[in-house]
Structure 1
Amino acid sequence: MYGFLMALSFFCMFSQKDHFLMVMLALEQGVLSAYGVTMGLAGLGLNSSMVGLSVLFLIVGVCEAAVGLGLLVSRCRVSGKDSLGSLFSLS
């Protein structure tokens, strides 16, 4: 189930061509589904260090979300919109 959610979020991320916020939301869905996979493996008892890895993975996901939100806010302040088409413009 989590694999399907991860594949769906990456499909949404790569098919989204308009808004930076939608790409960030799809990326966060992928991070949360990968966290679900690691917690599921830790719950099965396959590896005792998997719990620490899943917490570290969640911390990295939160930092990634904070950096993405900061980039979104700074981009909206500069250009006034969050479209991906104007992300790489030189003006």
Structure 2
Amino acid sequence: MPKRTIVLSLKDQDIEKFLEYITQRLRGSDYSLTYKDGRIYLTIHGRPREIEDLIRSARKAHGDFMKIHKPVAGVRRYPKDWLVERSRGISLSLLIRA
């Protein structure tokens, strides 16, 4: 079965939060994680098309995690997908105004 490995950079103090976040995003897929020297090595197993989709999801999840947990100039940024997950039926326009 084909496999592919990608590397995601992360600080030591964020590793537990990120692992919780990425496992939710990659639920139901065949992958393994290895952490070494501030880097996460994510190896994904499957068909080539599935691998590409999961790599795209993993990179997006990493970017979203960094946006949420690393404020820029004191301002936190939240991706639309993250807001929709946690909105519990509240419209995005109300969340933006709040």
| TM-score band w.r.t. shorter chain | 0.3 to 0.5
User: TM-score, normalized by length of structure 1?
Assistant: 0.37
Bigger RCO of structures 1 and 2 (CA < 8 A, at least 6 apart)? 1
Higher CA-based Rg: 1
User: TM-score, normalized by length of structure 2?
Assistant: 0.35
> Larger % of helix: which?
1
> Larger % of strand: which?
2
